[in-house]
Amino acid sequence: MKIIITGGEGQLGRELGQIFKEEGHTVLQYSKQQLDITDRTQIREILKKIESELIINTAAFTKVDRCETELEKAYLINGIGPYYLAVEAKKKNIKLFHISTDYVYSGDKLSPYEEEDTPYPKTIYGKSKRLGEELALMACENITIIRTSWLYGHGGQNFVNTIKKLSNQLGEIRVVNDQYGCPTYTKDLGIVIKELITRPPGIYHVTNSGSCSWFEFAREIIKLLKKQTKIIPVSTEEYGLKTRRPLYSVLSNKKLNSFDIKTRNWKEGLQEYLKKECADKNED
């Protein structure tokens, strides 16, 4: 199979490239400089030259605070870009996978969100990502939307790397303790995406299993790193975030499990990630 990955230089794009290449597929990973998903003409020209069977869109504007002030950029990349991809994919009869987010939900629910739950985003990031979902679904029937959360992977900035870096600089770190979600390792997400290629199109929630607060996530990172850094729990209000985050955005994997696809617990994924990161950097 010939596969195009947009946002190919990102953490998930890199992971997907590696997974599919190991399976023997031809993978073309495009950075945002090589393929701007907001440029419909560029998309059309690339799809003319390359007869691919699958497009995986990982490109997105994910800076939550900046989305609030850079609205045009947020809606263009997260909303219009996926629509352009969907329109051109339909013309060429190409299967499309689009990566979305837990931020399409309000975070007011107290039980895991299922695919049938009505999205109600409260941030520009969430609203722009929801628009991308709606427009892409409208334009293309052969599309699978993957909602995931708290993503981390190799070769980029993420929460795990931030805590690791701060633990080398500080004796204590303040971390929010009233926001709950599902930490998700890009490798585990990539494996499920590979499995879903042969499944019916639609919307799927895909995360590692289990859930925690950011505080609990940070504490587990410190524990696995065997650091002495103290993690101080604080409320969202005390922390003083510019943009309100969903307080509860745990995604249910029930639909995924109905296809007999399971994901491992987030602690197991984190352990493997840190082990590989430390090995790659020759750390103890």
Q: Give residue 230's pLDDT.
A: 96
The pLDDT of residue 283: 61
* Amino acid 282: pLDDT: 63
pTM: 0.95
122: buried, middle or exposed (CB in 10 Å: 19+, 13-18, 0-12)?
middle
Collect all residues with Cβ–Cβ distance below 8 Å to 222 and sequence separation of at least 6: 163, 167, 229, 231
Rounded Cα–Cα distance for residues 173 and 269 (Å): 23
For residue 143, give both structure tokens: 């599309």
Contact (CB, 8 A) for 104 and 121:
yes
pLDDT at res. 106: 96
Is 125 tagged catalytic? yes
Query: Looking at 30, 125, 180, 204, which residue is catalytic?
Result: 125
Per-residue pLDDT of the chain (284 residues; tens, 9 = 90+): 999 999 999 999 999 999 999 999 999 999 999 999 999 999 999 999 998 999 999 999 999 999 999 999 999 999 999 999 999 999 999 999 999 999 999 999 999 999 999 999 999 999 999 999 999 999 999 999 999 999 999 988 999 999 999 999 889 999 999 999 999 999 999 999 999 999 999 999 999 999 999 999 999 999 999 999 999 999 998 988 888 899 999 999 999 999 999 999 999 999 999 999 887 766 65
Q: Please, which residues bridge with residue 176 across strands?
A: 234
